[in-house]
Structure 1
């Protein structure tokens, strides 16, 4: 499976090149019941399962002056032992020690002279546990395809995934004679030719979405320590909540699981601004929300297939219910405004421009100070049922997002079995309160769940019922 990188894939390389302190790798950690197998057995299993993906043994071939896009090529000197490594936690080997090790591993850049992935076996966890960390460059995979790499190590690769619930995967484009809009720009062109009346609406939506994205990128966020230059050290933390609580809250309050997750993130960031002595403002937390445009038949393709939205999360709203309502309304407005379609159209169109032009444009723009977007929150679907690896039960799956381009904090939200896990990677100096950020997210979910249960019992009119109708 050789081939050239898309503009988006190559853009992650160029973005990394602009800042020596940035590593644009993403990852995931599986916490497993122990003790771990012998390392030789681990090496054999990882080699058998992970190397089934062709990208695992391919390297990037670049061209002078970026005259053409980088391409994947087989690595004749591939050595599995360069990529599978061992680490042992210092005493006491608790979750805090695991998170510190994760941060240290993610600080270091992947060697571009080798295939762009690593697998770390982490031993010494308390409660008879061990961990397996998969680290891949963002140029190779987005969140869903990276999750599939991790799932490929599981004993049962046919476990149902929450990925079937994402918008691009769960809706066929035609159902009972009704044609749903596609996020593939080639489909829009075909639709426009066949249905001229709809072409104008599509064009207006894309134009409106493009205008909103441009305005969001040009409007600076309120100054805070949450955005600015990124250093070379990281901290990592996680928040874990019951998926059932989030689903019940969303159902009772008439929103979505993603709305509740983002409202909890907003709650935590509001508290962080207040701890720093800053007044939360309406423009304090513009957030990049990646949107998957991956079709069901491309779930296993190792590349990036995302668009984006840029909502302002309402950290200025003090009331939790009103804050959730504002998140729901803003996400609904962003979805209907054409931001996703505009982002997808722009990425598609960039692949038609000669690569030297896009490469140097991306490199130039990425060197400019980015002051509008404060953080990124990405939602990655995982297995619906508990899984095992090499006969060991996977107790927990932790996602690891990247940070770059003025984002000093990044959040990945991962659904696994009955848990929803928030993984936070933050700049070491800019966000020393990563523990407060994670506990703030857990507290935000719990608060909304309590309010939802209380409102469901009382059935009283007021903010709750107003929210349900919003």
Structure 2
């Protein structure tokens, strides 16, 4: 943690964040992002409490609740929770069972599935003791509207310690002195803002139309072609590929199961390069290979599956935390059995997506969707996300040793939300290891242990490409 002042973030949600928050009128669209850390020893509870108290003072957003304007007039706002109490968000629990990884993941999945209280800051943390070999677990879940995966890692990098026993304890910061509006006051401001913006929007629209007309008159053929190209690109970004859903992954429920894999970071890089791709290409190719193997076990392998993948759009000037990503959708091939060829296919598909004039189709329509009544928003958003057989994410994680209250983080897994889909796989690097976590709906993946074994085989197949003597 630095000695700078508290981290400041915009008070108003953006349209994408508002969508994720409001769509939870349908419980299938809940959006928790969960981190599961494995610690080398059980940290002192008092130090854990002190570290979290310090964290909420350094990142005041952790003390903020979501304030909705009446009648949905405008976007929600983050506002200080006048009744904030750390004990409402932090707990300690002893693990049952054998204390193994499976017990920890089952506890984490059940805990992460519980909804946040809507009138409190949407995050929670848990220290889990009783793991085998004297280890401990640390669980953290936040609502996706508070931060995306990279935004959460940014916060964690500031809050983790860089050594086991610091030379001196930091004095607690003062609680930031901040005032928040009432719901009535927020509604009034939003209403005035809408009235003030209306004339300007009309004039801007007229000006844009006049300018567009002038440009078309000066170069009618070129402008028409450019407009058609733009609209076609926007349509490809905004409308998901019409890939038939996998017949094997159609079931949906509110239950979740967490799975993990540990993959050597350098080996995965070498495998990607050996086949002419990147680490991300090799990662996606391995996941697709595992999904194909799982289908093959049941005698049906579709030609393609629908895949959703976030692309980071965060700039150097963007505030810490929050959400800055574009949602990419594509049809991913399943029947390519050569892992090197699969890596190149993934490379080409993703490269084509990045070359589109418009990549962020969701960003284009998010302001409109966020303004819909929540029930209608949930129907529209759920109808789109349920078509995703697979979602995949790659998050740069910890590059150096990190500690929580004196305990070192040995492994750190990210489990993304699964709003209506079948499988969400996230890779988060932890020094020299790719910690890969999958959130699966057991109604879709009815044999999760078989699914885990299939991905084991697929990663082994891909990693072999980068080893000496192997020809890709």
**TM-score, normalising length: structure 2:** 0.80
Aligned twin of 2:196: none
Aligned twin of 1:127: 133
Task: Please give the residue correspondences for 1:322-333 in structure 2 after superposition, counting only pairs within 5 Å.
Answer: 322-333=341-352
- Unaligned 5+ runs, structure 2: 1-8, 164-207, 213-217
Do residues 397 (structure 1) and 406 (structure 2) align? Answer: no
**Separation (CA, whole Å) in 2 of partners of 1:144 and 1:369:** 24
For residues 258-313 of structure 1, what are the alpha-carbon distances to aligned partners after superposition, in whole Å with 9 as ceiling and x for unaligned?
100000100110011122332x2223x11001001001232x52211110211222
Q: Is the 8 A contact 2:309 2:393 kept in 1?
A: yes
> Secondary structure of the residue that 2:332 maps to in structure 1?
coil
For residues 133-168 of structure 1, what are the alpha-carbon distances to aligned partners after superposition, in whole Å with 9 as ceiling and x for unaligned?
1100011111111222333331139xxxxxxxxxxx
Shift of 1:116: 0.5
Shift of 1:340: 2.2
Aligned twin of 2:25: 17
Matching residue within 243, 255, 271 for 2:293:
271
Q: Which moved more, 1:145-154 or 1:417-426?
A: 145-154
For residues 362-408 of structure 1, what are the alpha-carbon distances to aligned partners after superposition, in whole Å with 9 as ceiling and x for unaligned?
33413547553212111111121222222221101111111013x02
Aligned twin of 1:171: none
**Separation (CA, whole Å) in 1 of partners of 2:446 and 2:98:** 21
- Unaligned 5+ runs, structure 1: 158-188, 465-470
Do residues 72 (structure 1) and 63 (structure 2) align? Answer: no
Shift of 1:228: 4.5
For residues 30-82 of structure 1, what are the alpha-carbon distances to aligned partners after superposition, in whole Å with 9 as ceiling and x for unaligned?
21111321x22211111112431121111111123212221111111100010
Do residues 99 (structure 1) and 123 (structure 2) align? Answer: no
Matching residue within 270, 274, 277 for 1:252:
274
Q: Is the 8 A contact 1:27 1:146 kept in 2?
A: no
Matching residue within 208, 212, 234 for 2:236:
212
**TM-score, normalising length: structure 1:** 0.80
For residues 173-230 of structure 1, what are the alpha-carbon distances to aligned partners after superposition, in whole Å with 9 as ceiling and x for unaligned?
xxxxxxxxxxxxxxxx9xx99xx9999998666434323234534x14234232443x
The structure having more radius of gyration, on CA atoms, is 2
Do residues 303 (structure 1) and 328 (structure 2) align? Answer: no
**Separation (CA, whole Å) in 1 of partners of 2:139 and 2:65:** 21
Q: Is the 8 A contact 1:221 1:374 kept in 2?
A: no
Matching residue within 6, 12, 17 for 1:4:
12
**Separation (CA, whole Å) in 1 of partners of 2:162 and 2:224:** 47
Q: Is the 8 A contact 2:258 2:437 kept in 1?
A: yes
Task: Please give the residue correspondences for 1:367-406 in structure 2 after superposition, counting only pairs within 5 Å.
Answer: 368=383, 372-405=387-420
Do residues 140 (structure 1) and 139 (structure 2) align? Answer: no
Matching residue within 450, 455, 460 for 1:441:
455
> Secondary structure of the residue that 1:340 maps to in structure 2?
coil
Q: Is the 8 A contact 2:24 2:378 kept in 1?
A: no
Corresponding pairs, count? 412
> Secondary structure of the residue that 1:101 maps to in structure 2?
helix
**Separation (CA, whole Å) in 2 of partners of 1:101 and 1:398:** 14
Shift of 1:87: 1.7
**Separation (CA, whole Å) in 1 of partners of 2:262 and 2:227:** 41
Q: Is the 8 A contact 1:55 1:302 kept in 2?
A: no
Matching residue within 232, 239, 248 for 1:225:
248
Shift of 1:246: 0.6
**Separation (CA, whole Å) in 1 of partners of 2:437 and 2:348:** 25
**Separation (CA, whole Å) in 1 of partners of 2:20 and 2:136:** 31
Q: Which moved more, 1:252-261 or 1:328-337?
A: 328-337
Aligned twin of 1:174: none
Q: Is the 8 A contact 2:386 2:419 kept in 1?
A: no
Matching residue within 14, 27, 33 for 2:34:
27
Aligned twin of 1:238: 260
Pairwise CA RMSD: 2.9
